[in-house]
Structure 1
Amino acid sequence: MEIMGSLGLLNIIFIFLLASFLGGLIARILKLQPFVGYIIVGILFGSFLPKDLIEIDKLAEIGAILLLFSLGLELSLSKLQRILKVAVWGGIIQLVFSSVIFFIILLLFGFSQIVSLILAIGFSLSSTAVVVKLLSEKGDLESVHGELMVGWLLVQDLAVLPIMIFLTSLSTRGGNWFLSLALMSAKGFLIIGLVVLLGRLILPYLIHKVASFNSRELLLLLSVIFALGTAFLVNLFGFSFALGAFLAGVVISDSQEKHAVFAETRSLRDLFVALFFVTLGFSLIPSIFIKSSFLILILVLLIFLVKFLVFLLVNFTFGYYGKAAIISSLGLTQVGEFSFIIFSQANLLGLISPENASLGIAVALSSLILSPIVFKHSYTLWKRLKLAAENRPFLLKYILSSERNKNHNLGELSGHIVVCGFGRVGKWVCKALESLGIDFVVVDYNEKAIREAKEKGIKVVYGDASDHEIIKQAQVASSRCVVIAIPDKLAQEELITHIQTISPNVKIFARAHFDEDAVRLRFLRVDKVVQPEFEAAIGIVSSVLSALGKSNPEIKSKIRDLRRSHTISEEPSF
């Protein structure tokens, strides 16, 4: 543009920041992820603004670098340890199967081999941001299906590294493709070694030196220099800036310096990332939504169906059935935010046309908008399948009986305690009961937790506690009380209702994360509701008042006042 002086650049930055604000506002109102709002507003602005805004593309590239750097930082390889085998092998199987199926489908739709391959790889990825948000809102991050989903998402995020190397090798023209891939892979290993050296040895030393000056500005500058510098270094070897930034983040993701770097770069990242997603929407061809609306709809439906079936197959392969299999499979059917990076990078490398990149992003965006609706109804689908399975042997095999048949007869029990959930809360409850010599049975759907309980000589029932047959095996009707220490709110409700139906005299003790959950449990006539976060606050208040020299009667009086003002006014008493 001829008007692009410094004033013109400032005007454009202002327009794009305004678009970012409007997009974020729209996303917040519609309860969508912010980047969805940014892309939508970018598309709207792109319909009347000129497309040749080179300067804003450069700022957006910084946004992509900081986005991938922070995504790398947020990866936690230690989280994979609990379900390492399932996460790694399950993730690889899912990526390969999904990519192959999507590749064949796209070929049948008339796309070229290279376009089909790139779109297929992008479509096989799921959204970490959306899934983690949905799981957090439902309090399901610690559930079996939550751990499975997060594990597979981490593997998918790590797969971005070889995918980006693969894209770079594809862009090499006029030579042996396999030789090019081998050369790029060798370069990749060399680069990883250099970045590990920088991130694990040199960066910590520099951070500690800079920290001694007590200057947040210097730490921010050092963090950005590390992200951009690594991106530049990787680019010298023929790879994209984005790959370098992501690798830099992954290298320090489990280091002590991670939190300091993340805290300092977050605000700057959010600003440039907003520009990146607005620019991404801006660069799309708006007419693609009208011209290819039917194709987009068909592709989204096929993606949901294929990914659901592939994830279901992976679940069955590794011994996960029932609710965990259904909910985790449905929850990962959307296309992830990494696909935006893959499609835009493929476009920059000349592998796919702007039209095909726009189509891929449009499909991904549509799936992200629909994803919360699909996930919201996953529990309803599970309940319907469970009802349907009761009278259908084929469904019963995969929905319920596989977990029911894993349990051995516990013998006749009476006057025992049933503990549903052997996680952080359930373990302490069991430890207390064991120390008092009280007979109890644990019900859990986590195979590792069940193995751990068995090794300690605890009576166990493997399966979903909300399944009527599973809870029946724990002999609830003859128990003294049931402790519900599972985080799944919907499963809690179903379990409580069933127990009250079959054995109304059995006392029920339950945990609740939030005030509204506690109110809901009280409405269900649970005998005792304990909110761990509130009890932690009570403990801290008591310790602080004691340290301030307050007498025991004063402390007890203040604690009583706090309990009285809280939703749950009773003291816990297991």
Structure 2
Amino acid sequence: MDDLLARTLILLAASGLAVGLLTMLRMPAVMGYLVVGAVLGPHALNLIDNAEHTKFLAELGLIFLMFMVGLEFSMPTILRAGRDVLVAGSVHVGLMMTLVTAGLVLTGVPVQPAVIMGGAIAMSSTAVTLKQLAEQGEISSRHGRLALGILLFQDLATLPLIILVGAWAQNGSLAPMEILKQIAVATGALVAAAVIARPLIRLGFSWVLKSRSADLFLLWALMTALGTAYVVHLAGLPAPIGAFVAGMVIGESEFRHRVEEDIRPFRDVLVGLFFITVGMGIDTSAAASFPGMIVVWLLVLVLAKPLVAFVTGLIAGAPREASARTAVIVAHGGEFGLLLTSLALQSGLVPAALGQPALIALALTMGFAPLLIQRNHWAAWLFDRRERRIAATEASIRMQSGSLHDHVILCGCGRVGRLVATVLEAAGIAYIAIETDLPRFRTARRQGHEVVFGDARHHRILEAAGLDRALLVAITFDHLNTVESILHRVRAIEPGPASLVSTADDLDMAHFARLEATAVFPENLAAGLALADRALLLCGKSQDDAARIVNGVRAELVEVNGLAA
């Protein structure tokens, strides 16, 4: 007991230190867990071993990882992504697996390990990519949607690969037709499980919600994930596949977001432990034993993989610049690549001389993925003249804003923005206005306002305007996606500037409140209440009574729409 407690404390302290340090460096937390496992594991300091209780908790982590992935895979999500998932995703995974498998077979590697490694190298990190794209406000962009489609298909492709690894580990070599038969049987079983589980899960959650017990809701969510995993395991399929089915069923229901929030703490801890066990399997001596293979895998991930992604984008009908940016975004390894390689190494399907260098290369590229994704716009330089214009505009804005501190960034200088600029000038408050519409830009210039021509939705333009030094960001136009993009950039700064949003009406107030806008001012609300105030005065009300009535209505409307009064 004392030994177990001591090891647990060492594990927690090392994980906290590593994850905290890497988070400060803006690198994914997964890297911290992998480093802890590699350093403390049997191949290095040997302070933590792969005991049965550790493996059990790691398997739970894998189950919850697949459950959370399933939550993102509702059929409407896949259908909305449509062409990007079914065309771009399938082409990218198919080409990468074919190239890696063929290359390994030509060098004398047997087909089984070659196929597994082809699948592992084809995967990129959905968690790292989506988090970074969200911070940059690029998820809704063309290259963001294309990358999302490829990532969604990669996650789906993990399912048959896990089934394949399990079948090979149990039965050794299987004929191609037998493999297809097992995958078809597994697919049929999963579809049947989803059909059967759908009404049962919905009925269970509906009953639990009636009890109004948060504890019961959490217990039922945990039982749903683990219970479905166990039933599928009894049917002869890997337990994580059952958890994926349960997550997919819940992902199509109205309970999805609450389940996701309740399960997340368990998922984060157990998935962290899972990646620690993956790190324990990394033999750090492989860096000295197989340096050439590590370099080869790195070149495949950062050169061959993006080249395939670029061709994939063109096949899917994306512009060259979007395809180029997507290529940079997916040029790294992923969690499921680590999972497949780790499972194959444990079962002896992949030799250490092949799998260990791949593990190290996958982990390294995951660690540096955020840095690459941040700079994906560089890839479009050769194809997109617009990128060159942005770069020139960025340099001009940076020169104009270089001396500003605690200033206001005014996004939009049209009919509302010009009024705000006039008031700021009267108050002696420094500001810089950004306007992308040429006629409005010229009008604002003629009136003497401090306005620059540029597109505020591009994070580089906001950074050039001194976003990290600004006191306030005021958004005075009414384009939902653009406003979302700017608010994401503001939220990514700690401590960030305050944010004000002007909208045409009050329909989007709650949405912007969820994006943590400091205040939202609908134009119809301001104009309507000002008109109502004047109407009350003309109807004989005193100024105090009119102000009290209008303020009461304003507070009620603001509260209903999701903002504090």
- Please report the TM-score for the alignment, with normalisation by the length of structure 2: 0.70
1:93 maps to 91
2:211 maps to 213
Q: Any conservation in 2 of the 1:19–1:278 contact (CA below 8 Å)?
A: no
Instruction: State the distance in 2 between where 1:214 and 1:516 align.
Output: 34
Q: 1:176 to 1:133 in 2, by over 3 A?
A: closer
Matches within 5 A, 1:1-80: 6-46=1-41, 47-49=44-46, 51-80=49-78
Q: Which residue identity is paired with 2:161?
A: I
Q: 1:535 to 1:314 in 2, by over 3 A?
A: same
Q: Which residue identity is paired with 2:165?
A: L
Q: 1:516 to 1:171 in 2, by over 3 A?
A: closer
Q: Any conservation in 2 of the 1:170–1:177 contact (CA below 8 Å)?
A: no
Q: 1:166 to 1:174 in 2, by over 3 A?
A: closer
The answer to whether residue 509 in structure 2 is matched with residue 537 in structure 1 is no
C-alpha displacement of 1:276 = 1.1
1:171 maps to 169
Instruction: State the distance in 1 between where 2:230 and 2:378 align.
Output: 49
C-alpha displacement of 1:72 = 1.5
1:488 maps to 458
2:251 maps to 253
Q: Which residue identity is paired with 2:145?
A: E
Instruction: State the distance in 2 between where 1:346 and 1:550 align.
Output: 72
1:141 maps to 139
Q: 1:64 to 1:117 in 2, by over 3 A?
A: same
C-alpha displacement of 1:28 = 1.0
Q: 1:357 to 1:147 in 2, by over 3 A?
A: same
1:452 maps to none
C-alpha displacement of 1:334 = 1.0
Number of equivalent positions: 451
Q: 1:44 to 1:31 in 2, by over 3 A?
A: same
Q: 1:369 to 1:478 in 2, by over 3 A?
A: closer
Instruction: State the distance in 1 between where 2:443 and 2:524 align.
Output: 33
Instruction: State the distance in 2 between where 1:108 and 1:550 align.
Output: 82
Q: 1:216 to 1:509 in 2, by over 3 A?
A: closer
Matches within 5 A, 1:185-204: 185-204=183-202
2:318 maps to 320
Q: 1:208 to 1:251 in 2, by over 3 A?
A: closer
* Structure 1 counterpart SS, 2:521: helix
C-alpha displacement of 1:537 = 2.7
* Structure 2 counterpart SS, 1:537: strand
2:361 maps to 363
* Structure 1 counterpart SS, 2:202: helix
Q: 1:313 to 1:26 in 2, by over 3 A?
A: same
Q: Which residue identity is paired with 1:488?
A: H
Q: Any conservation in 2 of the 1:145–1:327 contact (CA below 8 Å)?
A: yes
Instruction: State the distance in 1 between where 2:523 and 2:198 align.
Output: 36
* Structure 2 counterpart SS, 1:285: coil
Matches within 5 A, 1:218-297: 218-297=216-295
Q: Which residue identity is paired with 2:12?
A: L
Instruction: State the distance in 1 between where 2:74 and 2:457 align.
Output: 22
Q: Which residue identity is paired with 2:163?
A: I
Q: Which moved more, 1:42-51 or 1:61-70?
A: 42-51
Determine what percentage of the aligned residue pairs are the same residue. 24
C-alpha displacement of 1:210 = 2.0
Q: Which residue identity is paired with 1:13?
A: T
C-alpha displacement of 1:260 = 2.6
Q: Any conservation in 2 of the 1:346–1:352 contact (CA below 8 Å)?
A: yes
C-alpha displacement of 1:541 = 13
Matches within 5 A, 1:285-364: 285-353=283-351, 356-364=354-362
* Structure 2 counterpart SS, 1:252: helix
C-alpha displacement of 1:539 = 4.5
C-alpha displacement of 1:9 = 3.0
1:416 maps to none
Q: Any conservation in 1 of the 2:321–2:379 contact (CA below 8 Å)?
A: no
CA RMSD of aligned residues (A): 4.0
* Structure 2 counterpart SS, 1:239: coil
Q: 1:239 to 1:479 in 2, by over 3 A?
A: same
Q: Any conservation in 2 of the 1:19–1:42 contact (CA below 8 Å)?
A: no
Instruction: State the distance in 1 between where 2:478 and 2:85 align.
Output: 33
C-alpha displacement of 1:137 = 1.6
Q: Which residue identity is paired with 2:122?
A: S
Q: Any conservation in 1 of the 2:50–2:280 contact (CA below 8 Å)?
A: no
- Please report the TM-score for the alignment, with normalisation by the length of structure 1: 0.69
Matches within 5 A, 1:395-410: none
Q: 1:530 to 1:355 in 2, by over 3 A?
A: farther
Instruction: State the distance in 2 between where 1:291 and 1:226 align.
Output: 45
Instruction: State the distance in 1 between where 2:362 and 2:441 align.
Output: 52
Deviations 1:45-95, CA, capped at 9 Å, x for gaps: 111125352221111111111111112113344233344123211111111
Q: 1:476 to 1:71 in 2, by over 3 A?
A: same
Q: 1:476 to 1:493 in 2, by over 3 A?
A: farther
Instruction: State the distance in 1 between where 2:352 and 2:296 align.
Output: 21
Q: Any conservation in 2 of the 1:122–1:339 contact (CA below 8 Å)?
A: yes
C-alpha displacement of 1:139 = 0.9
Instruction: State the distance in 2 between where 1:263 and 1:478 align.
Output: 44
1:401 maps to none
C-alpha displacement of 1:320 = 1.6
Q: 1:556 to 1:205 in 2, by over 3 A?
A: closer
Q: 1:389 to 1:206 in 2, by over 3 A?
A: closer
Q: Which moved more, 1:172-181 or 1:308-317?
A: 172-181
Structure 1 unpaired stretches of 5+: 1-5, 391-424, 430-470, 495-507, 519-527, 559-574
Deviations 1:420-458, CA, capped at 9 Å, x for gaps: xxxxx99xx9xxxxxxxxxxxxxxxxxxxxxxxxxxxxx
Q: 1:130 to 1:303 in 2, by over 3 A?
A: same
Q: Which moved more, 1:119-128 or 1:157-166?
A: 157-166
Q: 1:238 to 1:509 in 2, by over 3 A?
A: closer
Instruction: State the distance in 2 between where 1:276 and 1:169 align.
Output: 22
* Structure 2 counterpart SS, 1:171: helix
Q: Which moved more, 1:168-177 or 1:43-52?
A: 168-177
* Structure 2 counterpart SS, 1:75: coil
